Copies of this chain bind each other. A is one copy, B any other.
Amino acid sequence: MTEEPISESDVLVQNEAFYAAFRDRNVAAMTELWATSTPVSCIHPSWDALIGRDQVIASWLAILGDESSPQIRCENATAWIAGDVAWVVCNEIIKNVLLTATNVFVREEGEWRIVHHHASPTASAPAAPPMRKDFN
């Protein structure tokens, strides 16, 4: 019996499942997607980090429980794998707003589960190199 090869496409399928759960406000699917053996964390747009499964899952229950939660779609996803960890960079589109996200996955019992999500708004048409002095 040979083991299945590990491929970026499997990670991208799970990444898409994450956005489908978000879009469908599917609490069961969203809860299932987050890792259980590995500590999890989450940085929602403009928010400080949430650390630990209780805080992270509670934040998703609040988001998915909101009937006015917007449609979201994922584009331009790229995945990289090193061992049992993968990380994805993608855009999130919510109506006309562009965000950029980092999603980190860990393989738990053969399944890619999310351990970290970080999403933040993106300027749509940057005109100069990113200068941290903008935060002065």
Contact = CB atoms under 8 A, between A and B. Distances in A.
Question: How many chain copies does the complex carry?
Answer: 2
- Chain A binding site: helix, strand, loop or mixed by DSSP? mixed
A80 B38 contact: yes
A136 B84 contact: no
A136 B43 contact: no
Contact of A120 (B41, B46, B95): B46
Contacts of A43: 89, 100, 102, 120
Given A59-B129, A99-B135, 19 more contacts: A39-B80, A41-B80, A41-B89, A43-B120, A44-B130, A45-B132, A47-B100, A47-B123, A48-B98, A48-B100, A48-B122, A48-B123, A51-B78, A62-B130, A63-B130, A69-B131, A82-B83, A83-B83, A94-B132
26 contacts: A38-B82, A44-B130, A44-B132, A45-B130, A47-B100, A47-B126, A48-B91, A48-B126, A49-B78, A49-B89, A63-B130, A66-B131, A69-B132, A70-B132, A72-B132, A82-B84, A82-B115, A85-B85, A87-B87, A87-B116, A89-B116, A94-B132, A94-B136, A95-B136, A97-B135, A118-B120
